[in-house]
Structure 1
Amino acid sequence: MKVIGIGDNVVDMYLDQGKMYLGGNALNFSNFARELGVESSFIGNFGTDEIADYAKKALNKLNIDISHSHTLKGENGRSRVTLRNNDRVFIDSNKGGVLKQGLNMTSQDIDYINQFDIVHFNINGNANQYLPNIQGPTLIYDFSDLYKIDDIKRIAQYIDIACFSVGSMSDQNISMLVKKVHSFGITDILITRGSKGAYFLHNSEKYIQRSIKVTVVDTMGAGDAFITSFVINYKRTNDIEKSLKLAAEYAAQQVQRHGSFNNPEKIPNKYNVI
């Protein structure tokens, strides 16, 4: 099996620690998949600043293939965060940096993507225009909690598994969301709710997974970890309950370390002030 993440790479700068870590929904997917022993690649935009240099160096160490990514003049995606009661809180960001210039993929890039088993798109990836070109891979789309219903409807026909992070949403509103998404033709829907656990709907049948109680160090990347593990194991085994359990275990490991991935470097001084 091999998988690929398309879209955002964001370096998360923890001002409380003076350290920065790799991040971003699509890049987290690629990183977590590699940690789970799966061959993985990433396509996105990298800047020409020292933040981009850090990201590329870290990805090279992690053996993530970025050969089809693009380097554009400007700032790499970055955010500044801190921890409050072990929960990550975003202070500010540059809104994706050079990704705002557009992810200009070529026909060769599309052919490359279509060789993979699973492809990950997300709402921050600035790549929705390429969804109709994906033919073959299982396509998962992470809407996080940033979606609009009309946007879901517009791209639903291309999505195999839709993912949502809705920890603060009421059960009633989640049910309404699921019903609406299902009406658009998406039969597989993954809902993650942080400490409230998760559930997966397959053809309207609901499978519930409780969260695993551990000592939380940092919540950054927990939802991405759950999604990555679940989708990979679901693709491998077609066993929903087993895949949910493994995803909960992997997400529980994730919240016991700092950052989305344990590869920190010191934040450059110019970013380490508010």
Structure 2
Amino acid sequence: MYPGGNQLNTAIYAKWAGADSAYLGYFSDDVRGKHLKWVLEKNGVDLARCKVLHGQCSYAMTTLVDGNRTFHGTRKGVNAMTPIVLDQEDLAYIKGFDLVISDCYSNLDVTEIQKINDLGIPFAYDFSEEFTEDILKEYCPHVDYCFLSCNQQGGEEQIHALLRRIHSYGPKIVVGTRGAEGQIVFDGEQFYVGKAAPATVVDTMGAGDSFTCSFSVAYTDSKKIGSERVREAMDFGAKFAAKICGINGSVGDGLTYEGNLEDLYSDEDGYVYKPYKKSLGDVQAK
């Protein structure tokens, strides 16, 4: 079972990209939760404001075919079902950083994002494929760097229209990722089309998170301006994501699962969607 999840991936990728990083969230107190905490600590991620909750860790089931992964089910644990509420000590801690990155799976309500906005720190948010027009209108006024998966959004003309519309809702930068086809970025003045960097693909798990994180880190850290700043961040992000495709899981460090794979699909104490019961030997639990 490989450690992962958008927030964990991002915290570790930021460290790998050369930044000092921290993870602010919850851990379960079971074996998997303890393993996630260990992996973050091993990679030098600060966990000073994290909390440990009693219960089961979330996990997802995936298949891996020729390096490409497909999600087939998720069990939500206490870490995924407990909304994050930022107190004054959390906010004082966050104020010491130059960038905050979150996503649609983080349980972070708009009211909490507004607290981060009040600190004056750039806020990056990944909508993945989990967005509607209403969600975009609600969240985007509070987002500086907006990311979303555009694999199902048509050709370049349709994606351009979508990114332009999203930009009008507030973000300074809007990035549409397209997997192996690269990215399209809109900064309010022009569109930039980037290609995926050459990669030896072992596992695409974490490819999107790695681009989102490394682009955001590079863009925030850059001393350049205008189009040079955007292109530099796109290039750094593409090369970084290519490297991530060369490892097992999103960050490596898998944990051996010694139980019955069928038990992972039980919904007795968790919520499971898209149950998948075929070729269990090909399933990796993340």
TM category, shorter: 0.7 to 0.9
Q: Does 1:103 align with 2:89?
A: no
CA displacement at 1:104 relative to structure 2 = 3.1
Could you say which residue in structure 1 is the equivalent of 2:210? 225
Residue matched to 2:163: 178
Q: Give the TM-score normalised by the residue count of structure 1.
A: 0.87
Contact 2:55 2:77 in 1 (8 A): no
2:182 to 192, 197, 217: 197
What's the counterpart of residue 131 of structure 1? 113
- Does the 8 A contact of 1:40 with 1:64 survive in 2? yes
- Distance of aligned partners of 1:72 and 1:219 in 2 relative to their CA distance in 1, 3 Å threshold: same
What is the alpha-carbon distance in structure 2 between the residues aligned to residue 255 and residue 96 of structure 1?
A: 27
Gapped regions of structure 1 (runs ≥ 5): 1-19
Cα pair distance change 1:97/1:272, threshold 3 Å: farther
RMSD (CA atoms):
1.7
What is the identity percentage for the equivalent residue pairs of Structure 1 and Structure 2? 28
* Residue 161 (1) aligns with residue 151 (2): no
Counterpart secondary structure, 1:265? coil
For residue 232 of structure 2, what is the amino acid of its counterpart?
K
The alpha-carbon deviation at position 114 of structure 1 amounts to 2.0
Is the 8 Å Cα contact of residues 164 and 186 (structure 2) preserved in structure 1?
Answer: no
Is contact 2:85–2:112 with CA below 8 Å preserved after alignment? no
1:9 — aligned with what? none
Question: Deviations along 1:148-201, whole A, 9 cap, x unmatched?
Answer: 211111122211110011223212432332132122122310111100001211
Match of 2:192 among 193, 196, 207: 207
CA distance in 2, matches of 1:215, 1:137: 36
Offset of residue 147 of structure 1 = 1.0
Per-residue CA deviation, residues 79-113 of structure 1 (Å, 9 max, x unaligned), is: 12220222111121113543212223322112211
Secondary structure of the structure 2 residue equivalent to 1:154:
helix
Residue 261 of structure 1 is matched in structure 2 by 251
Query: Do 1:115 and 1:137's aligned partners in 2 also have CA atoms closer than 8 Å?
Result: no
Deviation (angstroms), 1:272: 6.8
Structure 2 gap ranges (5+): 264-276, 278-286
How many pairs does the alignment contain? 255
1:146 matches 2:130: yes
- 1:250 equivalenced with 2:240 (yes/no): yes
Aligned to 1:70: 51
Aligned to 2:31: 50
Task: State the 1:270 CA deviation.
Answer: 4.5
> What is the alpha-carbon distance in structure 1 between the residues aligned to residue 2 and residue 47 of structure 2?
17
Shift of 1:67: 1.8
Q: Which amino acid aligns with 1:223?
A: G
